Amino acid sequence: MWGKLISSLTSPTTGFLLKLFGGLTAAAFGILGVGAKTREDDGRLNCKGLIALIGILVGGILALGTSVYEFAVSQQKERDDRRRSERLMLSIQRGVYPMR
């Protein structure tokens, strides 16, 4: 169960979607926050301000998710490369030092 979940979370499609939605979210809500009146006269956030703030926070969370995704994928690639190198070294040792 965990293997399927991890493999689906580290798929290239997941990484692409995280980056896409993170960028779109940050851009859209950043524009909303800049373009709309987000504060009342007394300094409190109004409805548009709260929406912009929540959207920017969601964009930040998606950006953090992208960083975690890239870290997990790089760790998996490093493990796979290490296994391949170990198998190659074992094959070379068997060729250089055949069974006696």
Tokens 């965990």 belong to which residue?
A: 2
Cα-based distances in Å from 30 to 6, 20, 67, 74, 75? 32, 15, 20, 30, 32
Give the tens place of pLDDT for each residue, 7-46.
676 778 888 888 888 888 888 888 887 877 878 888 898 8
Q: Domain map of the chain by residue range?
A: 14-96
Q: Say whether pLDDT at 100 is over 60.
A: no
**pTM for the predicted model, two decimal places:** 0.66
